[in-house]
Amino acid sequence: MAQKVAKEKYNLDVEVVTFNDFVLPNEALNNGDLDANAFQHKPYLDKQIQERGYKLVQVGTTFVYPIAAYSKKITSVAQLPDGAQVAVPNDPTNLGRSLLLLQKQGLITLKDGVGLLPTSLDIINNPKKLKIVEIEAPQLTRALDDQQITMAIINTTFSSQVGLSPSRNGLFVESKRFPLREYLRQSYRK
């Protein structure tokens, strides 16, 4: 679909390249293997630039990929048992998004003023005594089959690869008004 719109509306030939982690797209872009990528929030990209020395520049914003909670063991939040293990992404940006989403559902309370990047250490109230299990984001869809994991909060990037849709399959979904947006980035070349 993206290729068709790009061609018809903008006369661009687009090849969609799929990656199985969050590091490779920026690495490929920085190395010149891609012309652009669209998958990340500004806090994530800024951290990657700082840690890896990438020379990337923003050329625009794009659509938002919401995160959502999925389960093969329950069909509603009301069924979430006390002490349930909840798998979340372990990268700072998506961990923060997941914890904020759990808070919005009333499942946990975070310290005031934690901003967009809270960690598990910022949980001050956990009435259901949920166990937050941090996992590499690409592994979260597999966590749904783990007998110990009741629910996983998964990025659309990975949930869509196994046929899950936030609107169709999610127990609850991140708000479209969430303040983070995806950024379209291009390699800075001199």
Domains of the chain, by residue range, sit at: 2-64+180-187, 67-173
Round to whole Å and give the CA distance between 175 and 190. 39
**Which CATH number is 2-64+180-187 given?**
3.40.190.10
Round to whole Å and give the CA distance between 74 and 162. 18
* Domains 2-64+180-187 and 67-173 are alike in CATH topology: yes
Neighbours of 173 (CB within 10 A): 16
- CATH superfamily of domain region 67-173: Periplasmic binding protein-like II (3.40.190.10)
Virtual CA dihedral for 159, 160, 163, 167, nearest 10 degrees? 80
pLDDT score of 63: 66
Pick from 165, 157, 175, 188: which is nearest to 24 by CA? 157
pLDDT tens for the 190 residues of the chain, in order? 567 776 788 887 888 888 878 789 889 989 989 888 887 777 778 888 889 999 888 777 766 678 999 999 999 999 999 999 999 999 888 899 999 999 999 999 999 999 888 999 999 999 999 999 999 999 999 999 999 999 999 998 899 999 999 999 999 999 876 544 444 555 554 4
Q: Model's pTM, two decimal places? A: 0.73
